[in-house]
Amino acid sequence: MQERRMYPRVAVNKEASFYIENRLSPIPCRVEDISLGGLKVSMHKSLLPEVFSNISLSIPDVFDFNAGTQVAWQDEYEGRCTYGLIFNRLGDDDKDRISGYIQDNSFKGLKEHWWKDL
């Protein structure tokens, strides 16, 4: 399969809080990976793709951001729903925070991959 993503993704694998527009309580989720183009989240709830149009995401000890997204794909496995989200609206400050996170963590992932058996 040919890779179609414009931006490389970096593993996050952290628990987070996902807020959708007009809902006061957060939905617990796990951010699997992120790039400047989008992210992959998984959760125990199945949600309609429309609810992702305006989200807020809080990853404790990492960053918070607001974004407009659309669902590129979704999957369900063993009671966990996974969504591939594409950013269609992301503020410059949020881009900078995500870019900084990617820059700080991309070498770490590469190092773990290449040197894991040594």
pLDDT of residue 24: 78
DSSP codes joined into one string, the chain: -----SS--EEEEEEEEEEETT--S-EEEEEEEE-SSEEEEEESS---GGGGGSEEEEETTTEEEEEEEEEEEEEEETTEEEEEEEEEEE-HHHHHHHHHHHHHHHHHHHHHHHHTT-
Domain boundaries, the chain: 10-113
CATH class entry, domain 10-113 = mainly beta
Instruction: Read off the pLDDT band of 29 (50, 70, 90).
Output: very high
Instruction: Read off the pLDDT band of 1 (50, 70, 90).
Output: very low
